Amino acid sequence: MKVLAIETSCDETAAAVVADGRVILSNVVASQIEIHARYGGVVPEVASRQHVAWIVPVVEKALSEAEVTWHDIDLIAVTYGPGLAGSLLVGVNTAKAVAMARRLPLVGVNHLEGHVYANWLVERSVVPPDADPETIDRLLPPPRFPVLCLIVSGGHSDLVLIEDHGVYRALGHTRDDAAGEAFDKVARILGLGYPGGPAIQLAAAEGQPEAFPVPRAWLKDTFDFSFSGVKTAMLRLANECRAAEKVPLEGEGENEVAGAEDHGVWRRCTADLAASFQESVVDVLTGKTVDAAGKYAVKEILLAGGVAANKRLREVMVARSPIPVRFARPSLCTDNAAMIASAGYFHFQRGQTSSLDLDVCPNLRLVA
Ligand code: KG4
Ligand code: ZN
């Protein structure tokens, strides 16, 4: 069964074709990062206009890269929330139009569930030609339930126990900023640009993780997270460094030090600050995840969402976990449509489809 999926919840216009919920036949992502970078974050109105301009060529490219035509597609999957309302609308309306015109079943997918299902995806190149789904599962085993998934993205930080396809239990969530949001805000404080996660990871590679005493919000006896205190601590530490090294404040925002990158001392400070911040976030995320995995006796830990692309998070999780840790390659951790196709396929397998009056749901939750 071939699923065509569309994802437009934020700033990536994406379409993909996936076979039997697992094999990626194509995965096209048109990123708007360059357009939004000059504003230091996503501008919703600009994002939805870009989606309108790009959605048709992106869908056409997904079909042609998969070497299929509309006749080969069996199901349309689309992200209907959570996300930016105007952005979601473009994807949902396109999916409904195609489903109606081609008389295909439609499945609305929760974006966070899509991130989870990135862990089911495999590359076409590693699958023997004409292998059936059972053979693929035998050669490349999918996650085995129950699993614990740490979903860490720009808008969410959730620890979710997954007992079977579609059976989710929320164990913890962030009480303030999402992990990705913390990376983005701290990158801005350090003048590292947008998006912050990859920029912090790059700067941190040159720094010492023990250089600065960044606090950890352990929030005892709960699997909830909090990252706003770390962000405030980073602002204070960055200001102290800047004052000590006499680095002028040249950015536009009051919290910014953009333009100060010419100062060699500041660059060393930035690397140490980035490494210390990253270590603090990774320490809490891995510590809580490993504890929860033990408590609920899961078979595997899955990492999902944009922050799951973080190299240090992956390393530390693997080093600390007594059970297998699974994560997709970085480009499947960040927003894409292949993950939506996979989640949509498993909904369809359970007989769950959406009607043509499917509407966007900007505040959709994974667990009620
Ligand atoms: O899942 P995603 O692509 O979009 C949302 O659903 O939010 O996640 C984007 C977030 C951004 O905050 C970005 O800074 C973060 O993921 N991110 C990373 C890395 N790559 C992306 N954070 C840490 N390290 C990375 N390598
Ligand atoms: Zn996402």
The answer to whether 120 and 4 have CB atoms below 8 angstroms apart is no
Ligand 1 atom closest to the Cα of residue 334 is 3
- Taking residue 194's Cβ as centre, other Cβ atoms within 10 Å add up to 18
Tens digits of residue pLDDT in 277-330:
999 999 999 999 999 999 999 999 999 999 999 999 999 999 999 999 999 999
The ligand 1 site (C-beta within 6 Å) comprises 10, 153-155, 180, 183-184, 195-198, 201, 305-307, 309-310, 334-335
Q: How far is the CA of 334 from the centre of ligand 1 (A)?
A: 6
How far apart are the C-alpha atoms of 209 and 213, rounded to whole Å? 9
Task: Average the pLDDT over 44-50 and give the result.
Answer: 94
How far apart are the C-alpha atoms of 51 and 100, rounded to whole Å? 20
The mean of the pLDDT values for the chain is 94
Task: Using alpha carbons, select from 58, 46, 66, 51 the residue that is nearest to residue 15.
Answer: 58
Ligand 1 atom closest to the Cα of residue 156 is 7
Strand pairing of 23-31 and 12-19? Answer: antiparallel
Task: Using alpha carbons, select from 201, 183, 198 the residue that is nearest to residue 33.
Answer: 198
Task: Using alpha carbons, select from 135, 162, 124 the residue that is nearest to residue 24.
Answer: 124
- Preceding peptide of 322 cis, ω within 30°: no
Ligand 1: residue of 334, 339, 364, 366 to mutate (most ligand atoms within 8 A of CB) is 334
Q: How far is the CA of 135 from the centre of ligand 2 (A)?
A: 30
Ligand 1: residue of 183, 230, 282, 335 to mutate (most ligand atoms within 8 A of CB) is 183
Q: How far is the CA of 136 from the centre of ligand 1 (A)?
A: 30
Ligand 1 atom closest to the Cα of residue 9 is 6
Indicate whether 356 pLDDT > 90: yes
Q: What SS3 state is found at 336?
A: coil
What's the pLDDT score for residue 250?
52
Task: Average the pLDDT over 217-225 and give the result.
Answer: 96
Q: How far is the CA of 179 from the centre of ligand 1 (A)?
A: 8
Task: Average the pLDDT over 252-261 and give the result.
Answer: 48
What's the pLDDT score for residue 249?
59
What's the pLDDT score for residue 245?
75
What's the pLDDT score for residue 258?
47
Rg (CA), the chain: 21
Residue type at 239? N
Indicate whether 256 pLDDT > 60: no
Task: Average the pLDDT over 347-365 and give the result.
Answer: 98
Q: How far is the CA of 153 from the centre of ligand 1 (A)?
A: 5
Domain ranges of the chain: 2-121+328-349, 147-327
Indicate whether 264 pLDDT > 80: no
pTM to 2 decimal places: 0.95
Indicate whether 207 pLDDT > 50: yes
What's the pLDDT score for residue 255?
47
Topology match between the domains 2-121+328-349 and 147-327: yes
> 147-327 falls under which CATH superfamily?
ATPase, nucleotide binding domain (3.30.420.40)
Cα of first residue to Cα of last residue in the chain, in angstroms, is 30
Q: Which residues surround ligand 2, an ion (CB under 5 A)?
A: 153, 335
Residue 53 has phi, psi (to 5 degrees) of -70, -35
Indicate whether 109 pLDDT > 70: yes
Tens digits of residue pLDDT in 65-83:
999 999 999 999 999 999 9
Tens digits of residue pLDDT in 238-253:
999 888 876 765 544 4
Q: How far is the CA of 356 from the centre of ligand 1 (A)?
A: 32
Tens digits of residue pLDDT in 118-137:
999 999 999 999 899 999 99
> 2-121+328-349 falls under which CATH superfamily?
ATPase, nucleotide binding domain (3.30.420.40)
Q: How far is the CA of 326 from the centre of ligand 2 (A)?
A: 18
What's the pLDDT score for residue 362?
98
Ligand 1 atom closest to the Cα of residue 195 is 14
What's the pLDDT score for residue 246?
67
